Amino acid sequence: MASRKSAPMRSREPAPKPQIRIMFRKAIAMGPGKADLLEAIEQTGSISAAARKMRMSYRRAWLLVDTMNQCFAKPLVATATGGSHGGGAQITDFGRDVLRRYREMDSAASAAVARQVTEFTRLMSRSPQQ
Amino acid sequence: MASRKSAPMRSREPAPKPQIRIMFRKAIAMGPGKADLLEAIEQTGSISAAARKMRMSYRRAWLLVDTMNQCFAKPLVATATGGSHGGGAQITDFGRDVLRRYREMDSAASAAVARQVTEFTRLMSRSPQQ
DNA sequence: ACGCGTTATATAAGTCCGTATATTACGTAA
DNA sequence: TTACGTAATATACGGACTTATATAACGCGT
């Protein structure tokens, strides 16, 4: 038998949804994961707390923030070391603007294909793969 | 210094573009790469020739086809072994319909966010990262 | 002075994805 | 019967990504 690595595992219901990814050269400047991370940083006030909330390693979260900050004209996240709580991170006004624009694009794209996605779903498999 | 794996390498101009990915459980049932592979199979008549054309291994192309065929209600690609040319693969009528619908969704989503993407581009970095 | 929590960085280990390669099965043509 | 090109499958290897872990720097509170 083949290794079947590509076979879809049963995990959750089919949820076809368009994804918006803003590419900058070879890097993903903004996408679903980075947008969620930005919101988590805004809510928690630090990269490490956001990472814990999103169940990812601090290193990965830091790299995602680093990529975002480098891809855009100005930082989306401002960080500080030391202080009463050891430091922290906050989303900048510029970052809030980028996030808002991204969410708007995501909504617009989803709305534009909503009906087609529904029709598409009917074409997909129902029986569990062996 | 950090490993900087996430830093964007200079390769080509920024080309922000929304990507449509149709998820089926944890697998990508249809996306840009699979759509292109379907077209290559249609043009060449075999998985192996399509793989060569797309500069990917036969194994990868076969796995992508396997995933597509398992994610949908009916096969998108029909294969045959043996015969005058050793066999081959062809896109089914169902596959053509899925591909057409996917292309339509992709166009609709791109058109819906075209202007916002243009504005977004202005927010991105211009200087090459160090 | 010391402790604390975070940023920032380095290193090691494991996982996942991809290519490369080899093998078998298959059906038609010569 | 043999040769041929492809599908289908298995294994090994390498690279990229992810986590885990450790360490240093930092600045404020006690």
Q: Please indicate whether residue B77 or residue A7 has the higher confidence score (pLDDT).
A: B77
Is residue B112 within 8 Å of B70, Cβ to Cβ? no
Compute CA distances B127 → A64, A76, B5, B84, whole Å.
Answer: 19, 16, 19, 57
Over 90: is that where the pLDDT of A19 sits? no
pLDDT tens digits for B27-53? 899 999 999 999 999 999 999 999 999
Instruction: Give the per-residue pLDDT at B24.
Output: 87
Per-residue pLDDT at B25 = 84
What is the model's pTM? Answer: 0.84
Nucleotide with smallest C1' distance to residue B57 CA = C19
> What would the pLDDT profile of B11-25 be if each residue is shown by its tens digit?
334 556 788 889 888
Cα–Cα distance for residue pair B60/B35, rounded to 1 Å: 14
Quick check: A116 pLDDT over 90? Answer: yes
Query: What stretches of chain B show up as alpha helix (H) in DSSP?
Result: 32-44, 47-53, 58-71, 93-121
Per-residue pLDDT tens over the stretch B61-107: 999 999 999 999 999 999 999 998 999 999 999 999 999 999 999 99
Distance from CA of B106 to the nearest CA of A (A): 8
Query: What average pLDDT score do residues A59-65 get?
Result: 98
CB contact under 8 Å between A11 and B22, yes or no, is: no
